[in-house]
């Protein structure tokens, strides 16, 4: 199977490409290497994929912005992918408040280009990244995929909900199978420098204060990267099984669009998260307690029963193990 992965130099994209190559898939990666965070880290991920792991010509990396419809179309025509996994997006809730145009270009125009390329090139299945932020101001917990998501608290969240609506429409009109994954606070080695684990670890090692918003009472379903990758791989395998079944006329009339929560079912307070990092680093942090920031959600916890039923798996990595793995990588990478 030929798989196109956008955002291949990103945190999740890198880990996914690594796993898919180990399973024998032919992978074409797309990334624009933007400077939202350290481009050197993105290049290091690609170098790790290209030079240290696989020498079987099963990986092709293309530097292209998904907002560039012409460039993206050429990659689709060249590869003729069976499946597309779209992880490319402008990330960050707080950054979206200051730089809304970045999110329009990447998350809306770029995603529309992905959908169009899938339609024009006969792609059978598009799996794409959504976000837990779509639940916005919802008070009910845990979040269920059937809950209303019409009160986004940031433009980032609004663009991710828009992606789900756009994907549904393309499934309805053009019979493209689409699957959205609402990720919940993914962490682990090679993670993003703007995420809490990275920021806290760096600050603690440098002896600087760490900022705890909502006075440390933020609640998150911290989800280890290996669990996320396992879920995606199982969605791919599930697609292969489903595609071998014969479609009835009734099946063809059903809109084949699914949404799944992808996250840990265990909620953790931010202050507890910090304590686990302190334990791993053997450092006592200097804490600065701050109020809840604009656009942030105080608590996110997913109901993952639908995902578990569909693929027979749900995230389960203990927080302490995941943090230790990150700290070990961080110390090695930054010497």
pLDDT digits (tens, 9 = 90+) for 85-133: 999 998 887 788 888 889 999 999 999 999 999 999 999 999 999 999 9
Q: Which of 14, 156, 170, 224 is catalytic?
A: 156
Query: What number is the average pLDDT over the span 226-240?
Result: 92
Q: Is the pLDDT of residue 83 over 80?
A: yes
| pLDDT interval class at 333 (50, 70, 90) | very high
Examine the residue annotation and report whether 25 is marked as an active-site residue of this protein: no
Is 259 inside a domain boundary? yes
Round to whole Å and give the CA distance between 81 and 238: 17
Give yes or no for residue 57 having a pLDDT over 90.
no
Query: Backbone phi, then psi, for 115, in 5-degree steps?
Result: -60, -45
Least confident range from 109-118, 135-144, 242-251, 268-277: namely: 242-251
For residue 200, tell me if it sits in a domain. Answer: no
pLDDT tens per residue, range 41-52: 999 999 999 875
Between residues 134 and 251, the one the model is more confident about: 134
Q: pLDDT averaged over the chain?
A: 91
Residue 194 counted as domain residue: no
Would the pTM of this model clear 0.85, i.e. be above it? yes
Q: Does some domain include residue 326? A: no
Residue 309 lies in a domain: yes
Mean pLDDT (whole number) for 273-298: 88
Look at residue 245 in the predicted model and tell me its pLDDT.
Answer: 47
> Given pLDDT bands bounded at 50, 70 and 90, which one contains residue 258?
very high
* Residue listed under structure tokens 């699957």: 179
The predicted pLDDT at position 244 comes to 46
**Is pLDDT at 61 greater than 60 in this prediction?**
yes
Tell me if 186 sits within 8 A of 225, measured CB to CB. yes
* Average confidence (pLDDT) over 174-192: 96
212 vs 294 pLDDT, higher one: 212
For position 108, what pLDDT does the model report? 97
The Cβ of residue 33 has, within 10 Å, a number of other Cβ atoms equal to 13
Position 323 pLDDT exceeds 70: yes
Domain assignment of residue 77, given as a range:
2-184+223-263+302-315
Number of domains in the chain: 1
In a domain, 46, yes or no: yes
Of 120-129, 246-255, 284-293, highest mean pLDDT: 120-129
For the chain, give the percent of residues with pLDDT over 70: 93
Residue 105 is assigned to a structural domain of this protein = yes
Task: Write the CATH number for 133.
Answer: 3.40.50.720
Position 251 pLDDT exceeds 90: no
**Average pLDDT for 274-283:** 96
User: Residue 254's pLDDT band (boundaries 50, 70, 90)?
Assistant: low
**153-170: average pLDDT:** 95
pLDDT > 90 in the chain, percent: 75
Residue 243 falls within a domain, yes or no? Answer: yes
Q: What is the model's pLDDT at position 193? A: 95
User: 93-97, 148-152, 198-202: lowest mean pLDDT where?
Assistant: 93-97
pLDDT > 90? residue 260? yes
């Amino acid at each position: 199977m030929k798989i196109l992965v956008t955002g291949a130099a990103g945190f999740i994209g890198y880990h996914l490409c690594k796993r898919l190559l180990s399973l024998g898939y032919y992978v074409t990666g797309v990334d624009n290497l933007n400077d939202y965070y350290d481009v050197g880290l993105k290049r290091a991920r690609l170098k790790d994929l290209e030079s240290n792991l696989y020498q079987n010509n099963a990986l092709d990396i293309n530097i292209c912005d998904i907002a560039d419809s012409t460039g993206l179309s050429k990659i689709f025509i060249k590869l003729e992918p069976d499946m597309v996994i779209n992880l490319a997006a402008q990330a960050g809730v707080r950054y979206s408040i200051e730089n809304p145009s970045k999110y329009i270009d990447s998350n809306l125009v770029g995603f529309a280009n992905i959908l169009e390329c899938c339609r024009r090139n006969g792609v059978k299945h598009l799996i794409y990244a959504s976000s837990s932020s779509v639940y916005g101001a919802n008070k009910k917990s845990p979040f269920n995929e059937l809950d209303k998501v019409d009160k986004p608290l940031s433009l980032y969240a609004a663009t991710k909900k828009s992606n789900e609506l756009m994907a549904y429409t393309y499934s309805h009109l053009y019979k493209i199978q689409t699957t959205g994954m609402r990720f919940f606070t993914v962490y682990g080695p090679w993670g993003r420098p703007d995420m809490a684990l990275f920021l806290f670890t760096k600050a603690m090692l440098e002896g600087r204060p760490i900022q705890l918003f909502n006075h440390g009472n933020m609640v998150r379903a911290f989800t280890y990267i290996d669990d996320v990758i396992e879920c995606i791989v199982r969605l791919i395998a599930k697609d292969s099984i489903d595609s071998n079944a014969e479609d009835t006329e009734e099946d063809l009339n059903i809109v084949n669009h699914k949404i799944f929560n992808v996250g840990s079912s265990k909620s953790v307070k931010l202050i507890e998260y910090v304590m686990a990092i302190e334990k791993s680093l053997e450092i006592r942090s200097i804490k600065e307690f701050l109020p809840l920031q604009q656009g942030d959600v105080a608590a996110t916890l997913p109901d993952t029963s639908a995902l578990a039923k569909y693929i027979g798996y749900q995230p389960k990595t203990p927080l302490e193990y995941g943090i230790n793995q990150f700290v070990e990588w961080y110390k090695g990478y930054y010497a």
